[in-house]
Chain A
């Protein structure tokens, strides 16, 4: 089984952003430069999440999806603000391969059945934003981790798989952006409960965390944001024009990254995983340079 290493790009307006617990978004630069860099490094898939779409009813991501699909030939999942079958059609039409649905699926679970029937189960990813409550139980959140639903994560995962989700993107909001490691118990519980693939997201700060999620959590797909983003920034593969004037980029100008996640490139991560006996797809041309 070859592990899938997926880059997750949270996008706000024209910018790639990164927050902590999906909040306090920092602008990192223009998403295109990052997406292109990751692809050249051998990324297995890209996930684009519109960080504000389900709050402000925006679908501004589609132009960016189209540009990516024109120039990059790897799978693209689009999430954030997908509410209707028409939204799904629009995303697929500009080159998305899969759509990730959270809020709309919780509010109208029947949407999963209809979407899976129309576009095939493998096109429909249900995104679950999980937070651990005081009782230790995991609860589903919507609206980018802001609003509680009372739904139990494991029960909901089983329901969405039954309804036709081909994949589950599981984000631990309480770990997201912290660099403190994945929530292994959560990953294992959900992965054991469903027969469809689960993508673990939220918390990756170093290679050991990724190994834990794969070995301890049991998943075969990992979504990573900060480690790669800061890797791209530190590696100086980005030029000044890759940054926009919008948003708060003062922390970038100051040169202080100040972040717990250890920066790494896509290929370097795959190289370290391979050395630990975890099967990864590496591009021969990139591997030869390292």
Chain B
């Protein structure tokens, strides 16, 4: 993948009034792409890839997306096959529903619900909520999956090239549950609660942690996203980009 191909890629960062957009913007720039921040559905639709950020409460965020008339356009963008990446609350918004402060419907890009983190008090009272700090990501599969080296599961995904057990930075109170096992890219265990911390199906990926705050490991994820976007752009004008990405 040449840098020139990436430089032409325009990444729309969804601005609905929440989230640390500046750091995401820097992550995009560092990976060689051109970011733009927008709350306009038409502008975002013209992007080569979209990032859905977010911090705060699920219900407020969905209401903000509704007021910006972004709910259907985001679903359409995901259906178009162009790469989409969710970060933190952005991941949670992609689920069917949340039980944070009452029931709220999400974007429904993945099956599953958003629930409160439940660290096991038996393990010790040191596991506070929110979960703030650096934790490991592991490939799914419990004790049968290799916990060292580069997992086969991550090849061709946005976690491509990372080793099992890599540290990434989390800040959250809620997490994804009951999603389809095939979509789970990584799990994280906090206080005995093992949950889905990275999810991916086709062109849509999302992370409960903050890649833009996870040092070199996180920047690798942005680079993988850039590669995927560039291949998708090339694929539109030639052969199928996504397929070639997953076969690399």
A: residues with CB less than 8 A from B are 1-2, 4, 39, 44, 66, 69-70, 73-75, 92-97, 117-123, 166-167, 192, 195-198, 218, 220-221, 281, 283
Known contacts A2-B167, A94-B22, then 8 further A-B pairs from the complex at CB < 8 Å, ordered by chain A residue: A2-B135, A92-B22, A95-B23, A96-B20, A120-B89, A122-B55, A192-B125, A196-B128
User: A95's contact among B20, B132, B167, by CB below 8 Å, is which?
Assistant: B20
- Return chain B residues, CB-CB under 8 Å to A123: 55-56
Q: B68 on the interface (CB 8 Å rule)? A: no
Contact B132 A197 (CB under 8 A): yes
Given contacts A69-B22, A73-B215, A73-B219, contact A121 B126 (CB under 8 A): no
Chain B residue with the shortest CB-CB distance to A42? B215
Interface residues of B in 18-63 (CB under 8 A from A): 18, 20, 22-23, 26-27, 30, 55-57, 60
C-alpha spacing A44/B172, complex, angstroms = 16
Contact A220 B133 (CB under 8 A): yes
Contact B132 A74 (CB under 8 A): no
Q: List 15 A-B contacts (CB under 8 A).
A: A73-B213, A73-B219, A75-B169, A94-B22, A96-B20, A97-B20, A97-B210, A121-B173, A166-B130, A166-B173, A167-B130, A196-B129, A197-B130, A220-B128, A283-B215
C-alpha spacing A28/B13, complex, angstroms = 39
Given contacts A94-B22, A97-B23, contact A4 B56 (CB under 8 A): no
Q: B212 on the interface (CB 8 Å rule)? A: yes
Interface residues of B in 168-226 (CB under 8 A from A): 169, 171-173, 191, 210, 212-216, 218-219
C-alpha spacing A283/B167, complex, angstroms = 9
A153 to chain B, nearest CB (A): 18
Contact B213 A120 (CB under 8 A): no
Q: B127 on the interface (CB 8 Å rule)? A: yes
B59 to chain A, nearest CB (A): 11
Contact B55 A281 (CB under 8 A): no
6 shortest interchain CB distances as A-B pairs: A120-B56, A95-B22, A120-B55, A122-B171, A281-B167, A197-B128
- Return chain B residues, CB-CB under 8 Å to A192: 125
Chain A residue with the shortest CB-CB distance to B132? A197
User: B133's contact among A2, A96, A97, A218, by CB below 8 Å, is which?
Assistant: A2
Contact B57 A120 (CB under 8 A): yes
Contact A4 B57 (CB under 8 A): no
Given contacts A95-B20, A95-B23, contact A166 B126 (CB under 8 A): no
Interface residues of B in 106-142 (CB under 8 A from A): 124-130, 132-135
